Amino acid sequence: MYGTMKVAIGGPLKVAFRPWVEGLENIPATGAAILASNHLSFSDSFFLPAVLDRKVTFIAKAEYFTTPGVKGRLTAAFFKGVGQLPVDRSGARGAGEAAIKSGIEVLERGELFGIYPEGTRSPDGRLYRGKPGGLARVALASGAPVIPVAMIDTEKIQPPGKVVPKLMRPGIRIGKPMDFSRYQGMEHDRFVLRALTDEVMYEIMKLSGQEYVDIYATAAKRQIAEAAKAAKAAREAEKAEKKQADS
C-alpha cells in the first residue's frame, strides 16, 4: 500500500510543488537510520517521503486510525498507506513509551524512522527546544545514526485559515549522519539525553536557518493562546467602556 500511496500522492506533490532537495546522498541506500526533522507543517510528513526512494515511517495520534464510520476507515487507510504508525497519546508517559517502542521496532527492521524532536508543529516558524525523551532514547536503544533534516517554507504553503494551498517550492536540506555510539549504554542519563538532543537541534538549526528558541513548542503555544485570550478580553473591556461612556 505504501508504494501505491507514494505514487498516488508523492508523484502529484512533486509535480505541483517541485520541492528542491539538498543532501540526498546522506540517506543510506540500506539499513536503519533516524530522520530527525524540524516541524513546520502538517505536510512535512508527505513532502519528505515524496523525495526519498526509501520508505519513511512516522508516528501519528491513534485517533486518526480509530475514528468510526466510512470517513474514519478512509482516514485510517490513508495514514497507514503513507507510513504512519498509530500511538495512543491519552497518557503522556504511556504515549512516550509507545512512540519509543514503535521507533525501535521500525529500526530493528532496518528501515527509516522519522521523528520531530520538537514534539509538535512550530507555532510561528521558529525552531524550538527538542524533547529529549523520544529521539535520544530511540537513538541510543537502536544504535542507529541520526540524520538531521530541515523542512523549509512548508508552513507558507497552507497557513492557518487557508483552505487552498499556495503553489510554491518548499525545500528540504538533509545533513550528514550523526553517530552517538559514544553514549551507548547511557540512555538513562538525563544529561546525556539532553546533550544528544541539543546536538541534533543545533544541526537542524544550521540547516534550516531558523531562529532558535530555548523553550518547548508546547509552552510557546500556551503563551500565544494566553496572549490572544488576554488581548481579546482587553478589546471586549474597551468596547464595554466605550459603550458605557456613549450611553
Q: Residue 198 has which C-alpha cell?
A: 541539543
Domain ranges of the chain: 2-214, 215-247
pLDDT of residue 200: 98
Compute how many other C-beta atoms are within 10 angstroms of the C-beta atom of residue 219: 12
pLDDT of residue 247: 67
pLDDT of residue 71: 62
Place of cell 518548499: 170
The reported pTM is 0.86
- Determine contact, residues 68/78, Cβ cutoff 8 Å: no
Q: pLDDT tens per residue, the chain (247 residues)? A: 667 667 777 788 899 999 999 999 999 999 999 999 999 998 898 899 899 999 999 877 666 566 677 666 665 666 666 667 766 655 555 557 877 888 999 999 999 999 999 988 999 999 999 998 889 999 999 999 999 999 999 999 987 677 788 899 999 999 999 999 999 889 889 999 999 999 999 999 999 999 999 999 999 999 989 998 999 888 888 888 887 777 6
- CATH number for the region 2-214 comes to 3.40.1130.10
